[in-house]
Structure 1
């Protein structure tokens, strides 16, 4: 800690702890002890430690457990803004992804879905609802529409692999996507699925994916827990 710095000590501590969580020095499940123990160990005041911990609790990186102390939950998933699947990103980060299929059916395409997929309104499309978890904790609520006849989205297979892997295994070459990212408050139903409180902030992502022939092969509308995600992009200065 730099006591001569204008940066508040609580913020310095929060930043150091966050870095340790992100790089795996403090893996999920690590107990930090209670505030008094931490303050004594670090040579800081209890209010300083309390404020630093609260900062990371608000970010979803730490949790306070009665009778146990402060515990690391999970680091935030940092997803690049590129054509990749959540399943692959979680697996690459060693997060042990799992999927629960909530809905898998054929249904008539609504006007927005038909427009996204380039199919006639009212024609059959596959509709999928899935809950993606990591270490058994809900991470994202995924809703996808696919043109009928493209693949057979078998429920058992969907629970053991990612949708993009299934598309690629059907000899489809995923080429590009149009994507928009936003945020909104969780409804009661969404909050229950994602283990959040009603009204909690959620990240939203809508994506239409195209193959190398320009055909739309998937339209997704996804919800992510804001405390568990960040999207990364690289910006270039236009010459």
Structure 2
């Protein structure tokens, strides 16, 4: 295959390197156990830094597609032919999977100064404004979730995007930013007056609060998301499989 990276492309170099490696390790010689070229040589061939190359390699090691042994080298993991399955979905994907049409009742875009907690998550200062998006969504006649999202300014969102499109499609197709990892915290709270009004619920009624921390392929923070779900309209299901 051609060892080539397009240094003029808007796609980050480490992502191009990752894509190249994914294609490389599918070749028969590497499937049969041949070691990958060492990092120094491969970085020179691609005209990228070892740090950039290592980001790509680390990603595949994390997915258990590659095995790296100190003093030996890196090779394809036995029996690994694809990435780990991803078990998280965007809201639109969740609803599509359930066959439920989604309606957007409200959409508000603003630029705000982050509080200290959000600034710490993004590793930015509190005096730098970030994009805030608020959306009331649900079934045709049932608004059952109120989302508040904050985005890292590194992405480059302007606020003029067509947010009727799926969010992660916008990030990937328009900004070459792939949402790869989601970490979540789920808790039960009582609806305050503001949330109750949005969700057409009684103040004090049970609400499911889901905090979602979204990262890109290099595990850099992209989005801090709060989802307030009306308890009588939404059930959160967790499926776990025991493995030996």
Q: TM over 0.5: same fold?
A: yes
Q: 1:82 to 1:225 in 2, by over 3 A?
A: farther
Is 1:173 paired with 2:173? Answer: no
8 Å Cα contact 1:101-1:128 kept in structure 2: no
How far does residue 157 in structure 1 lie from its aligned partner after superposition? 1.6
Rounded to whole Å, the distance in 1 between the matches of 2:216 and 2:139 is 29
Structure 1 residue 106: Cα displacement: 1.2
Cross-structure match for 1:194: 199
Root-mean-square deviation (CA, aligned residues, Å) is: 2.1
Q: Give 1:116's match in structure 2, choosing from 88, 98, 121.
A: 121
List alignment gaps of at least 5 residues for structure 1: 1-80
Q: Pick closer, same or farther for the CA change 1:236–1:204 going to 2, 3 Å.
A: same
Equivalent residue of 2:180, what SS? strand
**Residue in 2 that maps onto 1:141:** 146
Q: Say which SS state the counterpart of residue 223 (structure 1) adopts.
A: strand
1:210 to 207, 215, 232: 215
- Which of 163, 167, 191 is the aligned partner of 2:167? 163
TM-score in terms of structure 1 length: 0.60
Distance 2:100 2:158 in 1: 24
Cα 1:101/1:152, change in 2 over 3 Å: farther
Q: TM-score, normalised by structure 2?
A: 0.59
Partner of 2:240: 235
Secondary structure in 1 matching 2:145: strand
Cα gap change, 1:91/1:171 in structure 2, threshold over 3 Å: closer, same or farther? same
TM superposition shift of 1:96: 1.5
Contact 1:110 1:122 in 2 (8 A): no
Residue aligning to 2:95: 90
**Structure 2 unaligned blocks of 5 or more:** 1-85
Q: Is structure 2 residue 95 aligned with structure 1 residue 99?
A: no
**CA distance, structure 2, for counterparts of residue 155 and residue 230 of structure 1:** 33
SS in 2 for 1:230: coil
In structure 2, the CA distance between the partners of 1:117 and 1:90, relative to structure 1 (3 Å rule), is same
Task: Measure, in 1, the Cα distance between the counterparts of 2:118 and 2:217.
Answer: 20
Partners of 2:105 and 2:143 within 8 A in 1: no
Count of matched residue positions in the alignment of Structure 1 and Structure 2: 158
Between the aligned partners of 1:184 and 1:155, the Cα distance in structure 2 is 33
When residues 98 and 154 of structure 1 are mapped into structure 2, their CA distance, relative to the original with a 3 A threshold, is: farther
